Amino acid sequence: MTEVETHGIAPIPPAEQTSRPRDLFRLAFGGANTFATIILGTLPIAYGLSFWAAVAATATGVVVGACVLSPMALFGPRTRTNNAVSSGAHFGVVGRCVGSFLSLLTAITFFSISVWVSGDAVAGAARRLFGVDGGAVLRGVAYGVIAVTTLVVCVYGYRFMLLINRIAVVLGTAIMLLGVVAYGGRFDAGFAGTGNYVLGSFWPTWILAALTVLANPISFGAFLGDWSRYIPAAHRPRSLLAAPFLAQLATLLPFGFGIATATLVADPGDYIAGLTGISPLWYAVPLIVVALIGGLSTGTTALYGTGLDFSSIFVRLSRVRATLLIGTLSVAFIFVGNFALDMVSSINAFATLIVLCTSPWMVIMMIGYWTRRGFYDADDLQVFNQRRKGGRYWFTRGVNWRAMAAWLPATALGLLTANTPMIAGPLRDIAGGVDVSLPCTLLTAAILYPVLITVFPEPRAAFGPEGPRWVPAGREEHVQVSATVDQAA
């Protein structure tokens, strides 16, 4: 488990597909059973909601997000590669760069959140234990230690990540449950909230809270294939769907911890300092542990996939080098964002972008999976990564314009109708101030893509031996795969 992983995005050899759906559960839950999720859980309270309104918004966001996320576990066992590369079957082997962009956006956001909140928690707990305020220096050192440690785990790869997340699931859960003892005497379920709603009234603010929570499960969409590719395709789809769904339901624990403790601190907008200030002395050490383990868990699940994916776009970069490059850029963002910009506002903006850009991409992938009957040619998906042309998924110069013509309007409409503190589109008042960006983007993708592939059928070769389901197939001939650039020369 502590050997450096040599696999990039090339198909995992079937003999090495030794993981099981429960390993996928551990990675998905371990990556979310952290302070990063706790922070997202505090935001509904910071937005002005009462305890029970925050619980309802959070539960809604988690369940809806889990339903959208779960089918993304189906691709890896069949394609034996990550979801960005798998999306080449629907967006084209060149057009799959959309998925790579989405994974980069998600990785920077959640790696930054994990290092930021974990570093602040370590600094706050140390202050509580030793009565010394290390200020920006202590925070900077904590950020650096967590970031570097996360990079090391990512470099070692999948097996080491699985080991870390096995520890994170058990230890993080135990420490959060111990919080019942630490804070239970002060908690009041009747907390009415401030009533000072961030969007001016209850329902727009409640919807905003649900969408903020929704960013957490949606953020795993581009990454599930990083781990499910190690699971044999022989496993039943039901067990593959259940693993990420149950993992997201389990995140109600860290979300609940965040909601409950946010009602206790004086300023939910400065949650970390407030939490460490009210913590019993004996709970400071467990807080440091959950911060460190949690930072590793969330950071690695986000950063590993992006390093993996960018090694396929920039062919001169190995997985290790791509991981180090993206990690270094993310660390720079953390320090600039925390010490020079408003980190909370930046993260809110990125979370909105993740939901509105990634969810229609996921919908198109799911519809494609259904119409293709789950058929994928693992070799032809690798054409672009091998600097070749042709194959089942070449479409038009490597791009399936039908999928692009569904994703772009869906994303644009979502952004136009968004109503958040940082991203407010010109159509934000179309429903009386209630944010309808998510249903707009999901419905647009769910309607446009089937219509487009019905009116303009995709090539017959893309569907495999059994042909398409519910849609027609075109008559275009299979494009032969060319030699690599080096071979052609």
Sign of the four-CA dihedral 265, 301, 158, 235: positive
- Predicted local distance difference test score (pLDDT) of residue 115: 77
Residue 267 lies in a domain: yes
More reliable by pLDDT, 420 or 243: 243
Predicted TM-score (pTM) of the model is: 0.85
> pLDDT > 90: what percent of the chain?
36
- Determine the pLDDT at residue 489: 31
Closest to 228 (Cα-Cα) out of 15, 67, 77: 77
Q: 42 near 180, Cβ under 8 Å?
A: no
- The CA distance from 243 to 238, in Å, is 9
Residue range 211-239: mean pLDDT, rounded = 88
**Considering the domain boundaries, does residue 270 fall inside one?**
yes
pLDDT at 18: 87
User: What pLDDT is stored for residue 140 in this prediction?
Assistant: 75
Q: What is the CATH number of the domain that holds 104?
A: 1.10.4160.10
Residue 368: its pLDDT value, please?
96
Maximum mean pLDDT: which of 96-110, 121-135, 470-484: 96-110
Q: Does 411 map to a domain?
A: no
Look at 63-72, 128-137, 156-165, 281-290 and tell me which has the smallest mean pLDDT: 156-165
- The whole-number pLDDT of residue 225 equals 85
3-class secondary structure, 459: strand
Q: Domain for residue 384, yes or no?
A: no
Distance CA 232, CA 455 (A): 36
Three-class secondary structure of residue 44 per DSSP: helix
User: Average of pLDDT values for 210-221?
Assistant: 87
Taking residue 437's Cβ as centre, other Cβ atoms within 10 Å add up to: 28
Q: Which domain holds residue 126?
A: 14-343
More confident residue, 245 or 170: 245
Cα–Cα dist 50/259, whole Å: 10
pLDDT reading at 472 higher than 70: yes
What are the phi and psi torsion angles at 436 (to 5°)? -110, 20
Q: Is residue 487 over pLDDT 50?
A: no
Q: State residue 70's pLDDT score.
A: 96
Residue 228: CB atoms within 10 Å? 32
Q: Alpha-carbon dihedral of residues 474, 480, 485, 489, nearest 10 degrees?
A: -140
What pLDDT does residue 337 have?
57
CA 251 to chain centre: 13
- pLDDT higher than threshold 70 for residue 303: no
- Structure confidence at residue 171 (pLDDT): 81
Q: Are 125 and 287 in contact (CB under 8 A)?
A: yes
Does residue 473 sit in helix, strand or coil? Answer: strand
Q: How confident is the model at residue 486 (pLDDT cuts 50, 70, 90)?
A: very low
- pLDDT (tens digit per residue) in 179-203: 899 998 888 999 998 888 988 889 8
Q: For residue 157, is it within any domain?
A: yes
Of the candidates 250, 260, 249, 229, the one whose C-alpha atom is nearest the C-alpha of residue 169 is 250
pLDDT surpasses 70 at 365: yes
Residue 419 Rama label (left phi>0; alpha psi -120 to 50; beta): beta
| DSSP line for 60-73 | HHHHHHHHHHGGGG
Tell me the pLDDT band of 227, cut-offs 50, 70 and 90: confident
Q: Can you say whether the dihedral through the CA atoms of 364, 369, 371, 375 is positive or negative? A: positive
Residue 446 covered by a domain: no
What residues are paired with 459 via a beta bridge?
Answer: 474
Rounded CA gap, 391 and 481, in Å? Answer: 5
Residue 295 vs residue 379, higher pLDDT: 379
**Within a domain: 66:** yes
CB 82 within 8 A of CB 253: no
Instruction: Taking residues 248-253, report their average pLDDT.
Output: 95
204 belongs to a structural domain = yes
The mean predicted confidence, pLDDT, of the chain is 83
Choose from 49-63, 72-86, 100-114, 322-336 the range with maximum mean pLDDT. Answer: 49-63
Residue 52, number of CB atoms within 10 A of its CB? 14
Mean pLDDT of 446-466: 94
Distance CA 171, CA 165 (A): 10
Report the domain count for the chain. Answer: 1
Q: Who contacts 456 (Cβ-Cβ below 8 Å, separation ≥6)?
A: 402, 474
Q: What are the CA-CA distances from residue 71 to residues 184, 240, 315, 366 (Å)? A: 38, 8, 29, 7
Relative to beta strand 473-474, strand 458-459 is: parallel
pLDDT band at 318 (very low <50, low <70, confident <90, very high): low
Alpha helices in 157-228 (DSSP H): 158-183, 202-218, 224-228
Q: Please check the confidence at residue 155 and state whether its pLDDT lies above 90.
A: no
Range 414-436 average pLDDT: 84
* Least confident stretch, 31-35, 71-75, 154-158: 154-158
Q: What is the DSSP letter of 341?
A: S
Cα gap 126→132, rounded to integer Å? 7
